């Protein structure tokens, strides 16, 4: 596992061992958060308790009273939704990264070697994407399919998953031949071992602006804002490409 040895965002005494933050994180961060959790714990002594789901599901849970301190979405619209509901501690979301959409397939797939033109291959019968109604990467995949003029050809072949992690599982298990997933997942050691990927052209889909918001009712607001300052610090941002994300700016 890649470990980022990073300083805290600003000079401060280590957090008391009992200080904890509850973080609701989008599914594309499942392989990223353990690394960030370890680095933040090392930098501050604070412990992050992370739960994962599609951005829409997490936003709904927060609006229904789920006790979270920080919401890390895969886009900006769901943090905006939480803020509009009067639950955010900020007037607008904080951008912490930009997501990257890739095409992934198992190494034993007959569609190998992968290129962007593989989406046009007549042998393709099942393509997994995340649900565009719930997952920002699903919306990006849907937009890319339209941009590449493949909507009519691929719509009957789509296998729709609840979130981006499940989308990757569909392709890994053979329930789909290909998957449009996040670089964070495709770049993980496991998915590099069992498959390969190619990046979709960035102009093929709208920018995936991954944003965060601190909860107004958090009992650890100061620590939550410290975490966001750390996450958006130059030291962390410069390491994001190693984790499958691009810096926010």
Catalogue all structural domains in the chain, each as residue range(s) with its CATH number: 20-98+207-243 (3.40.190.10), 100-204 (3.40.190.10)
Long-range contacts of 234-239 (CB under 8 A, 24+ apart): 235/6, 235/7, 235/9, 236/4, 236/6, 236/9, 236/36, 236/39, 239/4, 239/6
DSSP 215: B
| Predicted confidence (pLDDT) at residue 11 exceeds the cutoff of 90 | no
pLDDT of residue 19: 83
What's the rounded Cα separation, in Å, for the pair 18 and 47? 8
pLDDT value at residue 15? 46
Which residues neighbour 94 within 8 Å (Cβ) at sequence distance 6 or greater? 211, 212, 213, 228, 232
Locate tokens 């719930």: which residue? Answer: 134
The residue among 62 and 16 whose pLDDT is bigger is 62
- The chain-wide mean pLDDT, for the chain, equals 92
Q: Is the pLDDT of residue 12 over 90?
A: no
pLDDT value at residue 84: 97
Q: Is the pLDDT of residue 20 over 70?
A: yes
One-character DSSP codes across 104-149: EEETT-TTPSP-GGGGG-TT---EEEE-TTT-HHHHHHHHHHHHTT
Q: What is the mean pLDDT of residues 116-129?
A: 96
Q: Is the pLDDT of residue 135 over 70?
A: yes
- What are φ and ψ of residue 48, in 5° steps? -105, 125
pLDDT mean over 20-24: 96
Nearest to 144 by CA among 127, 161, 169: 127
pLDDT at 9: 42
State how far the Cα of 197 lies from the Cα of 105, in Å rounded to an integer: 7
pLDDT tens digits for range 40-60: 999 898 999 999 999 999 999
The mean pLDDT of 103-129, rounded to a whole number, is 96
Give phi and psi for 21, each to the nearest 5: -125, 135
Q: Which of 147, 41, 7, 25 lies closest to 78, judged by CA?
A: 25
pLDDT category, 17, cuts 50, 70, 90?
low
The DSSP call for residue 246 is B
Given pLDDT bands bounded at 50, 70 and 90, which one contains residue 4? low
Task: Phi first, then psi: give them for residue 191, nearest 5 degrees.
Answer: -75, -20
Indicate the burial class of 68 (C-beta count within 10 angstroms; 0-12, 13-18, 19 or more). buried
Read off φ and ψ for residue 241, nearest 5 degrees.
Answer: -60, -25
Question: Among 196, 189, 165, 187, which residue's Cα sits nearest to residue 243?
Answer: 187
pLDDT in tens, 206-223: 999 999 999 999 999 999
- DSSP letters for 60-81: HHHHTT---SEEE-SSSHHHHH
Asked whether residue 1 carries a pLDDT value surpassing 60, the answer given is: no
pLDDT of the residue at 134: 87
Rounded to an integer, the average pLDDT of 154-180 is 96
The reported pLDDT for the residue numbered 18 is 54
Q: Does the pLDDT of residue 150 top 50, yes or no?
A: yes
Q: Strand pairing partners for 181?
A: 102
pLDDT of 76 strictly over 80: yes
Note the pTM of the prediction, 2 decimals. Answer: 0.88
Given pLDDT bands bounded at 50, 70 and 90, which one contains residue 7? very low
pLDDT score for 213: 97
pLDDT score for 204: 95
């Amino acid at each position: 596992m890649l470990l980022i040895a990073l300083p805290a965002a600003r000079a401060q005494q280590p957090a008391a061992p009992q200080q904890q933050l509850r973080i609701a994180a989008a599914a594309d961060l499942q392989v990223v958060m353990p690394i960030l959790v370890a680095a933040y714990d090392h930098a501050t002594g604070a412990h992050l308790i992370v739960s994962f789901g599609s951005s829409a599901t997490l936003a709904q849970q927060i609006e229904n009273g789920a006790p979270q301190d920080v919401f890390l979405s895969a886009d900006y619209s769901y943090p905006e939704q939480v803020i509009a509901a009067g639950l955010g501690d900020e007037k607008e979301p904080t951008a912490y990264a930009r997501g990257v959409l890739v095409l992934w397939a198992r190494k034993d797939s007959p569609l190998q070697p992968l290129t962007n033109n593989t989406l046009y291959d007549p042998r393709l019968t099942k393509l997994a994407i995340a649900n565009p109604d719930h997952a920002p990467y699903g919306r990006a995949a849907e937009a890319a399919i339209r941009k590449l003029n493949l909507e009519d050809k691929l719509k009957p072949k789509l296998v729709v998953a609840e979130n981006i992690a499940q989308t990757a599982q569909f392709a890994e298990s053979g329930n789909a031949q290909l998957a449009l997933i996040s670089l964070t997942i495709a770049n993980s050691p496991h998915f590099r071992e069992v498959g390969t990927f190619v990046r979709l052209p960035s102009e093929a889909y709208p920018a995936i602006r991954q944003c965060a918001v601190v909860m107004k009712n958090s009992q650890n607001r100061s620590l939550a804002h410290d975490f966001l300052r750390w996450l958006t610090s130059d030291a962390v941002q410069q390491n994001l490409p190693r984790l499958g994300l691009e810096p926010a700016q």
